[in-house]
Amino acid sequence: MTSKTAPRVAIIGGGFSGIAAAQRLMKYGIEDFTLFEQSDALGGTWLDNSYPGAEVDTPSHIYSFSFNRNDWTRTHCARDELLAYLQRTGDALNLGPRLRLRTGVRGAAWDAATHQWTLTLGSGETAVFDAVITAVGFLNVPNYPKWAEGTGFGGAIIHSARWPKGYDLTGKRVGVVGTGSTAVQIVTEAAKVADHLTVFQREPNWVLRKGNRPYTPAERQRYRSWLGHKLLRLKHFIAYERERAGGRNQMAGTPANTKLREGALAYMRHELARRAELIPMVTPDYPVWGKRPVYCDTYYSSIAQDNVTVAPQVVELTPDRVIDQNGTPHALDVLVLATGFKATDYLYTLSVQGTGGRELHDVWAGEPEALSGVAVPGFPNFFMMYGPNTNSGPLVYLLESHADFAARCIRDMARSGSDTVEADPAVTQRFNAWIQARLQKTVWATSNNYFRNASGKVVTQWPFTALTYRLSSKFWRKRGMKYSKNGAAS
C-alpha cells in the first residue's frame, strides 16, 4: 500500500477456500477484493468433479461453513447438492460484483518499490493488489500415469476430474484405475450399468463403513433450527477431535490403530463373504491411515458382483487392449483414471516471485513449507489457503482457520499503517520442526501415499487436532508475522 488506506486484495480460486477467504475479509471490514476463478462459476473442485457417484466423505453438516447452515437431505451429501450450496453461499455473501469468472491467474510478482503484487492473468492482462490469497487447493491438478501419455489406445480415456458432461457408462466395458475415495464412488455406479467392469488396483486401501443415508423428515426439521444445527456440528466435531487426539489412530501398533484394523477387516469379510477369494487381494499390508482411508458403504458389495473383475495395476496400453501387471489383456471401451492429483506440488500452475525475484517453487526446491501452512518468508502480503501440512479434518473448519489467519494479518497491517506483513524465517523454521517431529512418528512417514514428497517428507498432513491448529495458528501468527512500513518495523 502506498498510504494508510484499505488494502486491495486478490483471491485466486472460487471453491470452498476462496469463499471462506472472502467471508473472513468482509468480517474484518476489508471490502476491496477481487475473486478470480478460471471456471464459469463458483464451486472449485466440486464444480470440476462431476463423475458418477461423487459425494462427500465427511458428514454434511460439518462439511459446510459455520456461517451458512443448510437443510441437508443426506448424512453425506452428493456433489450436486453441495455445489448448489456453495453457489448459494456466494450469492448470500454478494460476491457477484467482486467475481471475475473465466479468468485464470498465471503468475504473481512482488514489487519491492511499491510493496504491491502484480498478477498476470490468463489473458495476459495485469492487475495490481496490496495482498494476495491463493485458494487453489492442492487437489486440483490431475495426475496422469506415464503409461497413459501419448497412447494409441482406441477406447476413451477419462480422468475422473475431467468427466465429459453427460458421458454414460451404460452397456460399456469399463476399466477403473485406482481404489481411492474417488475410484470407489465411480466403481459403485459403474457396476450397476456397465456390461463389465474391471478395477485395476496398484495397492489396496483400507475401506471403512461410512453410514451414508437420507435424513428422515423429523431429522431435517430438527437440524434446520439454529440449536439443532449447532448441536449436530458439535457432535461431529467432537468425534473428529477424539479420533485425532494424541495421534493414536495414525501411529502403528497402538491399541487405537489396531482396533481400526480389526474393524476394517471384519467389515471386509462380511461384505465379501460370497467372493472370499477377493479378500487376500484387497487386504492392505500397511497400517490403517498409512494412506487416507476410504469411507464407503458400497465398494465391497460392488466388486462382489458377477460383472466385476479386480485386476493388478495397468502397465501398458495397446490400440485395442489394456495390459495389466500380470500380462493379461483387457478389452475395454473406456478407461477411467481415478489416479488422483499432483498433491505435493503446491501452487503447481502458478508462478510466484517474491522479494529479490525469487520464485516460490525454487525456494521450496520440492520441500514445500510455510508458517501454519499459510505464509512463507520472503513473500510479503502473500497467503495460502490449504497450504503445506494443513490437510486434516474436519476440512472446512480448518479452511476457515486459514482464512482467519490471512484476513487478520491483512487487517492488522492496515490498522498499524504498515505496508508489508511477512513470516519470520526463524519462527517458521521452529514451527515446521515442531510438526515434522510429530509427523515422523506417524504411519504416514513410512507408507506409500500422496502425503509424502519425492524425498519421503510428509508435506501435506497436519498431525494434531483441528482445534490445536486453530489455537496454535493464533500463537504462531502473533509470534511469527512481522509488520513493517517502508522496510522499517512497525
Q: What is the pLDDT of residue 3?
A: 42
- Average pLDDT of span 2-18: 86
- One domain for residues 331 and 261: yes
- One domain for residues 271 and 354: no
Q: Which of 319, 337, 355 is the last residue of a domain?
A: 337
pLDDT digits (tens, 9 = 90+) for 464-489: 999 999 999 999 999 999 999 987 77
pLDDT digits (tens, 9 = 90+) for 370-402: 999 999 999 999 999 999 999 999 999 999 999
pLDDT digits (tens, 9 = 90+) for 242-295: 988 888 889 999 999 999 999 999 999 999 999 999 999 999 999 999 999 999
Instruction: Name which of 65, 458, 438, 452 is nearest 245 in CA terms.
Output: 438
pLDDT over 80 (residue 341): yes
- One domain for residues 279 and 328: yes
Instruction: Name which of 331, 332, 336, 481 is nearest 408 in CA terms.
Output: 481
Q: Does some domain include residue 309?
A: yes
Q: How sure is the predictor about 331, in pLDDT bands with cuts at 50, 70 and 90? A: very high
- One domain for residues 332 and 398: no
Q: Does some domain include residue 4?
A: no
Q: Does some domain include residue 60?
A: no
Q: Does some domain include residue 75?
A: no
Q: Does some domain include residue 63?
A: no
97, three cell numbers? 460484483
- One domain for residues 442 and 400: yes
Q: Does some domain include residue 1?
A: no
- One domain for residues 235 and 300: yes
From CA 460, how far away is CA 306, in angstroms rounded? 38
Q: pTM for this structure?
A: 0.95
- One domain for residues 257 and 226: yes
Q: Which of 314, 337, 360 is the last residue of a domain?
A: 337
pLDDT digits (tens, 9 = 90+) for 32-45: 999 999 999 999 99
Q: How sure is the predictor about 2, in pLDDT bands with cuts at 50, 70 and 90? A: very low
- One domain for residues 134 and 234: no
**Amino acid at site 470:** R
- The crossing angle, in degrees rounded to 10, of helices 16-27 and 79-92 is 20
- One domain for residues 159 and 298: yes
pLDDT over 70 (residue 428): yes
Q: What is the pLDDT of residue 490?
A: 65
From CA 444, how far away is CA 200, in angstroms rounded? 24
Q: Does some domain include residue 269?
A: yes
- One domain for residues 367 and 223: no
- One domain for residues 244 and 355: no
From CA 488, how far away is CA 490, in angstroms rounded? 6
9, three cell numbers? 486484495
Q: Does some domain include residue 29?
A: yes
- One domain for residues 208 and 310: yes
Domain of residue 226, CATH code: 3.50.50.60
pLDDT over 90 (residue 407): yes
Q: Which of 337, 360, 394 is the last residue of a domain?
A: 337
Q: Which structural domain range is residue 209 located in?
A: 146-216+218-337
Please tell me the total count of domains within the chain: 2
- Average pLDDT of span 345-368: 96
